[in-house]
Structure 1
Amino acid sequence: MTDNTNNTPDGIQKFSMNYSERELECTVEKEGNILHLHIDNNINADLEIQQDGSLIQTSGPELPPSNIDFIRKHVLGQDAKGSVVATSGE
Structure 2
Amino acid sequence: MKEDKDTAPAERDGKYEFEIHYSGREVNCKVEKEQNKLTVQIDNNINAELSIQEDGCLVQTGGNELADSAIDYIKKRILG
Shorter-normalised TM-score: what interval? 0.7 to 0.9
Aligned with residue 41 of structure 2, among 30, 38, 41: 38
Aligned pairs (5 A) from 1:8-87: 8-77=11-80
TM-score (norm 1): 0.76
CA radius of gyration, larger in: 2
Tell me the matched-pair count: 72
* Aligned-residue CA RMSD (Å): 1.3
Runs of 4+ residues deviating >3 angstroms: none
Identical-pair percentage: 54
Question: Which consecutive unaligned segments of at least 5 residues does structure 1 have?
Answer: 78-90
Q: RCO greater where, 1 or 2, for CA within 8 Å and sep 6 or more?
A: 1
Matches of 1:44 and 1:19 in 2, distance apart? 13
TM-score (norm 2): 0.85
